[in-house]
Amino acid sequence: MVVFLGGMWRRMAWAMAPVVAAVSCAGCLLLTGGSQEASQPAKPAAQKAEPWILIDSRTETLTVYRDGESAVVFGNLAFGAAGVKEKRRAGDDVTPRGSYKVGWITHKSKFVHFIGITYPGLEDAERGLRDGTISRATYSRIERALQQGDVPPQDTPLGGLIGIHGVGKGSLEIHRIANWTAGCIAIENRDIRKLSRLVKPGMRVEIQ
């Protein structure tokens, strides 16, 4: 079963950039049962698939998959003004593409709720090390945190405080026509309230 929440709108991110410059986001400024015969071994119970989140920038949808079948879909997303791709440094207004996890959830935010993700990931750190954006010591800090299941450092040259949040008191009209964040994923306030009840730290988040 699929439940669809929200809608999709044509984006005009670069054309609207001057209009949305004053809009800001949290951490990113810019705007079976049954009997068995005795001779047959019992079959192990099927394990439920862990819930996870897919964020698709092409369809502008955020889908929460549960039990591998049922899903809740949110539409009308806004991304970083520079698009969704490999994020290379702080301040580049890019929403990172990759595989992450829900790192933390802030329920009191000027954007209603803030669901932080574990960016930078190991691939981001490896790329940053190759590019010379971060040092070997910084790479080691990120690697160690991820290995321990912790949120990676949010204060490195790769940037941080990337997450999913609402529009807050910002313009819903602008949200529906422009990618206005500096790297976060924004959804309507009513949707972030629903989403915050479906997620928990440790859930996988795929951004593509």
Q: Which residues contact 169 (CB under 8 A, 6 or more apart)?
A: 110
CA atoms within 13 A on the CB side of 32: 7
Count of residues in the chain: 208
- Tell me, what amino acid is at 165? H
Position 122 scores a pLDDT of: 98
Average the pLDDT over 62-72 and give the result: 85
Evaluate whether 198 touches 39 at the Cβ level (below 8 Å). no
Determine the straight-line distance between the first and last CA of the chain, rounded to whole angstroms.
Answer: 23
What is the C-alpha separation between 174 and 11, in angstroms, rounded? 10
Evaluate whether 54 touches 44 at the Cβ level (below 8 Å). no
Give residue-wise pLDDT tens across range 134-179.
999 999 999 999 999 999 999 999 999 999 999 999 999 999 999 9
Evaluate whether 138 touches 130 at the Cβ level (below 8 Å). no
Average pLDDT over the chain reads 84
Q: Give me the DSSP letters along the chain.
A: -EEEES------HHHHHHHHTT-EETTEE--------TTSPPPPPPPPPPPEEEEETTTTEEEEEETTTEEEEE---B-BTT-EE---STTS-PEEPEEEEEEEEEEEETTEEEEEE--S-HHHHHHHHHHTSS-HHHHHHHHHHHHTTPPPPSSSTT----EEE--TTS-HHHHTT---BSS-EE--HHHHHHHHTT--TT-EEEE-
Q: Is residue 57's pLDDT more than 70?
A: yes
Q: Is residue 10's pLDDT more than 90?
A: no
Position 67 scores a pLDDT of: 79
Position 123 scores a pLDDT of: 97
* pLDDT tier at 43, thresholds 50, 70, 90: low
What is the C-alpha separation between 83 and 153, in angstroms, rounded? 23
Q: Is residue 45's pLDDT more than 80?
A: no
Position 42 scores a pLDDT of: 53
CATH pick for 2-29+50-119+159-207 out of 2.40.440.10, 3.40.50.300, 2.70.98.40, 3.90.320.10: 2.40.440.10
Position 71 scores a pLDDT of: 87
Q: Is residue 1's pLDDT more than 90?
A: no
Average the pLDDT over 174-203 and give the result: 96
Q: Is residue 192's pLDDT more than 50?
A: yes
Position 162 scores a pLDDT of: 98
